[in-house]
Amino acid sequence: MSRTYTLVGIARAKANRREALVTKLDSLRTRGLTEPGCLNYHVGQDAEDAHVFVVYMVWDSRGALESHLNREYVRDFHATQQELVEGDFRFRWLNAA
């Protein structure tokens, strides 16, 4: 079995910025899915709290994920995320169990 690299991010939209965050996350997902090495890029909304979002990304190599994280549009999002989310995204690496 080949190794994949999975990154999960969780964030809470600011009360008046939910729709703007949805639009931005959808754009990030759409662009991410076109990048080399992207196996899965999913954005989900919490079933009980419409302001909480989870981003789930799977990449075929650490290099592909790092390339994604260093793209200008991703860096721009992280530099301006405070306008859209409460606090910061909380990211977690996942290993296969």
CA distances 75 to 69, 78, 89, 90, Å, are: 7, 5, 13, 16
C-alpha span between 93 and 10 (Å, rounded)? 12
Confidence of residue 97 (pLDDT cuts 50, 70, 90): low
How confident is the model over 49-94, as pLDDT tens digits?
999 999 999 999 989 999 999 999 999 998 989 999 999 889 999 8
Return the domain boundaries, the chain. Answer: 5-94
C-alpha span between 58 and 32 (Å, rounded)? 10
C-alpha span between 59 and 69 (Å, rounded)? 11
CA 76 vs. chain centroid, Å, equals 13
Beta-ladder partners of 88 = none
Domain 5-94: which topology? Alpha-Beta Plaits (3.30.70)
Whether the model clears a pTM of 0.85, i.e. scores above it, the answer is yes
